[in-house]
C-alpha cells in the first residue's frame, strides 16, 4: 500500500441512486425501496391510480400524480437518496424531490441490500438497464493547506492516481 502514514478515517455515506427501465401494465404497482442504513423509504407507483406515494417507514409523506406513461412501453425511472434528499424521476422529469433529516437517535447500520424492487401485476412486467450508483467520499490530505492556489498562464495542475497526495 501507499500513503501508510495518512489518516484513513472512514466516512459513512448513505447516498444511493437507482436507474432502470420498466414496462408497466395497467394494474401494475411498482415499489422501489431505498434504505439509508437507518430507515426505509418507499416510492410506490400505482398505474391504476395514476399516482406515486413516498412512504417513510409505513407513513405516506408525499403524493404526486404519475406522469403519462404508456402501458407496456418501457419508461426510464430513477430514484434514490442524494445529500439527504429523496427523489423520483420519470423520463428525466422530477416527480418527487424532498429533503429529509435522518433520525439522530437511530444508529446507522450499513446494509448489503440498500435497494429493493417489488412488483404487483396480473401481467408480465419487465425491468431492464438496472444501474446502481453509490456516492464516493474523497478524503482530504492530512495537513492540507486551506488557502487557494492560483496558477500562472504557463503553469500546470497535475493530478495522479494517488488523489490524497497528488
Give pLDDT, residue 53. Answer: 97
pLDDT at 2 over 60: no
pLDDT in tens, 13-59: 778 899 999 999 999 999 999 998 888 999 999 999 999 999 998 89
Q: What is the pLDDT of residues 63-77, one digit of tens each?
A: 999 998 889 899 999
pLDDT of residue 143: 45
pLDDT tops 80 at residue 157 = no
At residue 11, the pLDDT reads 59
The pLDDT, as a whole number, for residue 10 is: 58
pLDDT in tens, 76-133: 999 999 888 999 999 999 999 999 888 777 787 777 788 999 999 988 889 999 999 8
C-alpha 30/C-alpha 49 separation (Å) is: 12
Angle, CA of 89, 79 and 50, to the nearest 5°: 55
Amino acid at each position: 500500500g501507499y500513503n501508510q502514514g495518512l489518516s484513513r478515517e472512514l466516512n459513512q455515506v448513505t447516498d444511493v441512486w437507482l436507474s432502470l427501465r420498466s414496462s408497466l401494465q395497467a394494474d401494475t404497482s411498482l415499489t422501489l425501496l431505498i434504505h439509508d442504513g437507518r430507515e426505509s423509504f418507499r416510492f410506490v407507483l400505482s398505474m391504476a391510480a395514476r399516482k406515486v406515494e413516498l412512504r417513510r417507514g409505513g407513513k405516506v409523506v408525499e403524493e404526486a400524480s404519475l406522469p403519462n406513461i404508456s402501458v407496456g412501453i418501457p419508461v426510464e425511472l430513477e430514484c434514490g437518496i442524494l445529500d439527504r434528499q429523496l427523489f423520483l424521476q420519470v423520463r428525466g422529469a422530477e416527480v418527487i424531490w424532498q429533503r429529509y433529516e435522518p433520525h439522530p437517535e437511530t444508529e446507522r447500520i450499513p446494509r448489503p441490500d440498500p435497494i429493493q424492487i417489488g412488483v404487483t401485476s396480473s401481467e408480465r412486467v419487465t425491468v431492464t438497464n438496472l444501474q446502481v450508483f453509490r456516492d464516493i467520499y474523497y478524503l482530504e490530505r492530512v495537513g492540507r493547506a486551506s488557502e487557494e492556489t492560483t496558477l500562472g498562464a504557463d503553469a500546470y495542475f497535475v493530478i495522479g492516481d494517488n488523489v490524497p497526495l497528488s
